[in-house]
Structure 1
Amino acid sequence: MSTSESTATAPEEQQPQSQWRPIGEAVGAGDVPVEVIESLCLNCHEQGETRMLLTVIPYFREVIVCSFRCEHCGHTNNEIQSAGEIQPLGAIYTVKCTDRDDLNRQLVKSESCTISIPEYQLTIPAGRGQFTTIEGVLADTIRDLEHDQPLRKIQHPELHEKIQDLVAKLRVIVPNVEAAPGGADDEPTASTSAEATAPMPNFTLKLDDPSGNSFVETRGGLQDPKWSKREYGRDKAQDEALGLKHDEEQDKSTSHYPEEILSFPGVCSLCGSELETLMKKVNIPHFKDIILMSTNCHDCGYRDNEVKSGGAISAKGRKITLKVEDTDDLSRDILKSETAGLTIPEIDLELNPGTLGGRFTTLEGLLQQVYEELDEKVFARGDASERGVTDEMATFLGNLKKAMAVEMPFTVVLDDPLANSYIQNTWAPDPDPNLVEEDYERDHLQNEELGLNDINTENYGHVEVPEGGENASSATAAAAPDAKQEVKPIVQA
């Protein structure tokens, strides 16, 4: 881009003390310094005009808003550039759009940001920076996809049909988008008034920016229940793409033990053959470390999987309550330890601690395991069972199947006295409106069942011997037979 002159629209004597002003104050203000630069138009190769505004976005940082317009051909282009440094960590912003008001959220997309909509398997690769709204991103995507559709219809008919289906789904969300110039297809694309007022399907918008310089507007501050942010460390490829030197020393100092799969020999409990049990330490985000154990006998085919807690015993128990309202809740990760009990009051399902052992799966997978265990292994069918018991079991399994299909809302209660169980919070790190976690003090009976009452955690490796030696110690013990040693239950440090 060639530059021949640069002028400021505001007089020099009226320059504010700071050139970085919030974007809300900058809009409509007459004293905002706007840099005007003559630039080459890449459309007609005449001289156009680029305007640059230095501004600050609330809850974000300084940016440069650039706007180009050519008076000769009418070509326009808008772009946003980050005026700050690359952040130490990358960031992923997630917004759950449930109504059309969410489409008006402002969005900052840097040159390194990738936008994705998982529900439609749509990924918008990194490109030029933009300062727009969610609706603007979807509208630009529709126009870009429709631009070469006539050519795709001839050269790649299958690809044309897939893109046409995707465009039709996006037009339900953003119905009032004009077709791209030169991209009109045989299929009707104009939306009707009925489409404009039709309910908008829910979808999730994700911004993944390794530079950390992208942003999505929040409603009501950082406590917005539809908005979440997660930061992560960049890998070597991401640092190189940003032109940064990757810290090799940090990679060398990082312990690789959590990624290592350990194995130890054992004996199959069915056929007695020798086998190996694999063990791996896994970290569950926003929870703790767990140990996955897998056993597979190559002689008889016996297989078993189990989950063990990888941390200390918690000081309190935990009760987790999840309200299941749609099929998305069935895909939540769930960790049920061997000490946890599971209850679904709506269908009278209650699993005592120890049932199914430790399991790390999804809620749908756990309910499927419960159904298979009851349907295949419970002795309540055939000639040996009473008719009433059989009918009752059939009714129960039918209700369980309805719950697995979410034909009715139900509640899952996971009660673990050791607090080693977990249900995924899809809103993390923000509170989940359908998930409630309650910590409680264990009673004496629970500590007794867990073997915590008789554990001595202090000075258990040291025995004091009186000056008289063993005889004096024996005499002291005989003289005070009722003396009791203070015992404390083990707690998490």
Structure 2
Amino acid sequence: MAASGAVEPGAAAATAAPSPAPAQAPAPEHLFRPISAEDEEQQPTEIESLCMNCYRNGTTRLLLTKVPFFREIIVSSFSCEHCGWNNTEIHSAGRIQDQGVRYALTVKTQEDMNREVVKTDSATTSIPELDFEIPAFTQKGALTTVEGLISRAISGLEQDQPTRRANEEAVAERIDEFIVRLKELKRVASPFTLIIDDPSGNSFVENPHAPQKDHALVITHYNRTVQQEEMLGLQAEAPEEKPEEEDLRNEVLQFNTNCPECNAPAQTNMKLVQIPHFKEVIIMATNCDSCGHRTNEVKSGGAVEPLGTRITFHITHPSDLTRDVLKVTKNPFTLGDSSNPGRMEKLREFSQKLDQILEGNVKAHFIMNDPAGNSYLQNVYAPEDDPEMKVEHYKRTFDQNEELGLNDMKTEGYETGLAPQR
């Protein structure tokens, strides 16, 4: 059920003061102070403004503040002492971000309901378990909490219920039932998912464990579509006209070869795959119908990198264990009368440590060292840095270049026929 047009009472009316336009450059740092109840100097600026409800003078208050681990925002609030009308909204103090952002929060406890949320007017809010969605530009931006977002949606649905009961009683009854389901969410009787999708990239959901990883929150950055660019009032760049080229990424190529096991004619399948935030790789697989032999391997689609790469990953949670692990519990060299008791004991201890890591009882480091610089370990925070991963680039030694066959490689002087001789 969609809640299109469900807004707070009075939120659809114009505010007395014009909305501050997003700045193209960040404002001076001293103007934006972190939110703090103990900061006595953090006082809002008050401006006398016209009330659009009773057309008498009210007061607009502007507060320039900074959300921890996020960015600067402007909180504006209008109130009229004559008719009691009020309105509150937030605006980003910076520019529209280069990418959109999508937050998916699994709400399991009351603490999750208290997480701070910055929701701009261009963000879409949804709860998949209820088939509930608040489309973009149907609510003003808000600095609130998860519970506040749900309460805001309830108020928006309730405000027109008297009119619906008079004109469409059946519709009003269904909305009453839906409001009860929304109120159930506030008690967190069962987990649910809150999704905030903002093409402007300026919405935010608090990570109470920052700068540590938040396992209940998934943050995804994405490139905007042309429609989203137009929705934000941005001028979409016209795509450059390029000559048509054959795109091999969506095709599986086949070529004839011989089986490495029985030398019978066979076919090898090859496909180009783009790994996000890394590079292209080539997946090759050979199946032999004669002997049944199968092989598959992955090759880098690019050249050897100028520097080697060392990736150190800190395993802190069982969800990090998405890699194959070789266990040596049933290794034949550790069984039988011929096995060395000392070696068998060391292998048994090693196997126990692997079990403890798999069960999440022991933290461990995973290190991958590739002199060619073509190895990759997934970063779930991409394009941001992974706090549990360290990527180092280093200059190869002579022996490492020798293993890669680079010491004898001639790459200069071929255009003039003056390639160096050795």
TM-score range, shorter chain: 0.5 to 0.7
1:178-193 pair list within 5 angstroms: none
Counterpart for residue 285 of structure 2: 295
CA contact (8 A) 1:54 1:62 kept: no
Residue identity (%): 26
Q: When the two structures are aligned, how many residues end up with a matched partner?
A: 368
Matched, 1:36 2:50: yes
Q: Which runs of 5+ in 2 are unaligned?
A: 1-9, 19-26, 34-39, 158-169
Please point out which of 271, 281, 302 is paired with 1:311: 302
1:112·1:211 contact (CA, 8 Å) conserved in 2? yes
Please identify which structure carries the higher helix content: 1
Tell me if the contact between 2:114 and 2:147 (Cα under 8 Å) persists in the aligned partners: no
Deviations 1:339-375 (A, max 9, x none): xxxxxxxxxxxxxxxxxxxxxxxxx2332xx34xx67
Q: 1:324 to 1:274 in 2, by over 3 A?
A: same
Change (3 A) 1:268 1:242: farther
1:414 CA drift (Å)? 1.0
Match of 2:165 in 1: none
Separation in 2, partners of 1:89, 1:243: 14
- The amino acid that maps onto 1:279 is K
DSSP-derived class of the 1:292 partner:
strand
Distance 1:212 1:26, change over 3 A: farther
Q: What residue identity is the alignment partner of 2:271?
A: M
Match 1:324 to one of 301, 305, 315: 315
The answer to whether 1:128 aligns with 2:139 is yes
Larger radius of gyration: 1
Partner residue of 1:210? 199
**Equivalent residue, structure 2, for 1:450:** 404
Are the aligned partners of 1:48 and 1:68 in contact in 2 as well (CA < 8 Å)? Answer: no
Give 2:323's aligned amino acid: G
1:43-442 alignment runs, 5 A limit: 52-53=60-61, 56-57=64-65, 65-67=76-78, 77-80=87-90, 87=96, 89-92=98-101, 107-114=117-124, 126=136, 127-133=138-144, 136-141=145-150, 144=153, 167-169=186-188, 208-214=197-203, 232-242=222-232, 246-250=236-240, 257=247, 259-267=249-257, 269=259, 272=264, 274-285=266-277, 288-295=278-285, 297=287, 299=289, 304-330=295-321, 364-367=322-325, 370-371=326-327, 379-380=332-333, 386=339, 388=341, 396-428=350-382, 431-442=385-396
Aligned partner of residue 322 in structure 1, secondary structure = strand
The residue type paired with residue 239 of structure 1 is: E
Q: 1:439 to 1:117 in 2, by over 3 A?
A: farther
Residue aligning to 1:187: none
Note if contact 1:258-1:282 (Cα within 8 Å) is conserved in structure 2: no
C-alpha separation in 1, matches of 2:17 and 2:362: 66
Rounded Cα–Cα distance in structure 2 between residues aligned with 1:419 and 1:297? 30
TM-score normalised to structure 1 length: 0.53
SS of match in other structure, 1:365 = coil
Q: CA 1:211/1:268 → structure 2, altered by over 3 Å: closer, same or farther?
A: same
Deviation for aligned residue 1:433: 4.1
Q: Which amino acid is 1:238 matched to? A: Q
Q: Distance in 1 between matches of 2:132 and 2:317?
A: 23
Deviation at 1:76, TM superposition (A): 5.4
Sort the Cα spacing of 1:233 and 1:434 in 2 relative to 1 into closer, same or farther, 3 A: closer
| Cα distance between partner residues in 2 of 1:321 and 1:91 | 29
The residue identity in structure 2 corresponding to 1:65 is: S
CA contact (8 A) 2:62 2:74 kept: yes
8 Å Cα contact 1:281/1:291 also seen in 2: yes
CA distance in 2 between partners of 1:132 and 1:404 (Å): 40
Does the CA-based 8 Å contact 1:52-1:64 persist in structure 2? no
Larger RCO (alpha carbons 8 Å, 6+ apart): 2
